[in-house]
Amino acid sequence: MQFKLSTPQGLALLLALSITGVSFVFFITIVLVPREIAWSIIIFSALFLFIFNYVLLFFVLKKFIITKLRPIYNTIESLKQNEKDHFEELDNTDIISEVNEEVVKWAKRKTKEISILKSNEKYRKEFLGNVSHELKTPLFNIQGYISTLLDGGLHDDKINELYLERTERNLNRLITIVKDLEAISKLESGELKLNITNFNIYGIIDEVFELHEMRAKERGITLKLHKKPKNPLYVVADKARIFEVVSNLVLNSIIYGNQNGTTIVSLHDIEPKILIEVADNGIGIASSDLKRIFERFYRVDKSRSTQLGGTGLGLAIVKHVMEAHGELISVKSKLAEGTTFSLTLKKLE
């Protein structure tokens, strides 16, 4: 048996030795030596005193320590995720070290949880502030246009049609924000089920280029597909969702691209996956922003994205769609040099 000071046995042994030593010296000096009693009796008396002290102290300390520490141990164990009962083992273990270890583990776990909660609280406040800002802008615009029309502008041919058109654009923006938030919510909850099919990924890219062709021309940005092969390349995924992903990435490259810049989409066969890269030579993203670009409403350049109609939800949707597919998406970027988004899709065997 190992005797540690952190166990009732160790403490009892130390105290018993101390008490016996002091008592033995006192007993020899005051009682035994003057009477010239035999050393065998002296040793036997010391041994008996030591055993008596040890047994008494051991049971007293064991009872006291376990009684005091058991509630602490019980509380910690009740807070743990697993509900195993360890208390049957307490009488035969190093209870002080065990409780100390549990307290340290519990404290570290709680410190980590508190840190996460603080981070989530900060994110929640930022998110609510961003939502409020995104909804407030079009709502105030709509309110202003309608108030002007009601105050007599409705009968002014110079402004009635113009203000109605602006009201419609702001309403469409609100609808887009609500739809994007709804899509993210469904993706996070798993409510939105994927419709997995086989389709030609090059067809998706062509459709995306066609969709954003006019907007790219307005900014003088050239959309290119790097080395398109003659044969189709089939992937296994939700076609509609992947179209949304590629469309968001290409649109981002247009919004944040430099005037007369270039957006290049390239595909690489890395069995059993297909790697898709969307690269631009635009303004780039600072390293401090890279960790947050997939957050809802987070924008690198708020003025530019708002001006061109971005909701700040596109990359958040992209991230959730890829996670729903069990695939990866990453980004690398340098300021003033451009940005490259990379994602993988399962290749049809």
- The share of the chain scoring above pLDDT 70, in percent, equals 62
Q: Is the peptide bond before 138 cis (omega within 30 degrees of 0)?
A: no
- Asked if 213 and 327 sit in the same domain, the reply is yes
Using alpha carbons, list the distances in angstroms from residue 282 to 17, 264, 301. Answer: 79, 12, 12
Q: Are 243 and 204 in contact (CB under 8 A)?
A: yes
pTM for this model (two decimals):
0.60
Residue type, 251: L
> What domain count does the chain have?
3
The alpha carbon of residue 281 and the mean position of all alpha carbons in its chain are separated, in whole angstroms, by 30
Q: What is the pLDDT of residues 86-102, one digit of tens each?
A: 444 444 455 566 666 76
Q: What is the CATH number of the domain that holds 183?
A: 1.10.287.130
User: Please, which residues have CB within 8 angstroms of residue 113's CB and are 6 or more apart in sequence?
Assistant: none
- The share of the chain scoring above pLDDT 90, in percent, equals 27
Would you say residue 328 lies in a domain?
A: yes
DSSP helix, strand, coil percent of the chain (3-state; round to 5): 60, 15, 25
- Asked if 222 and 180 sit in the same domain, the reply is no
Confidence of residue 25 (pLDDT cuts 50, 70, 90): low
Would you say residue 103 lies in a domain?
A: no
Which residue among 174, 189, 204 closes a domain?
A: 189
Q: Domain of 139?
A: 128-189
- Asked if 166 and 209 sit in the same domain, the reply is no
pLDDT reported for residue 90: 46
Q: What is the CATH number of the domain that holds 308?
A: 3.30.565.10
Q: What is the pLDDT of residues 203-218, one digit of tens each?
A: 999 999 999 999 999 9
- Asked if 134 and 74 sit in the same domain, the reply is no
- Asked if 58 and 136 sit in the same domain, the reply is no
User: Please, which residues have CB within 8 angstroms of residue 235's CB and are 6 or more apart in sequence?
Assistant: 198, 199, 201, 242, 274, 345, 346, 347, 348
State which H helix or E strand residue 162 sits in: helix 160-189
Beta strands in the chain (DSSP E): 196-200, 222-226, 234-238, 262-270, 273-280, 329-334, 338-347
Which residue stretches of 232-325 are H helix?
Answer: 239-255, 287-290, 302-307, 314-325
| Local structure of 246: helix, strand or coil | helix
pLDDT (average), residues 11-18: 64
Would you say residue 324 lies in a domain?
A: yes
- Has residue 257 got a pLDDT over 50? yes
- Asked if 133 and 164 sit in the same domain, the reply is yes
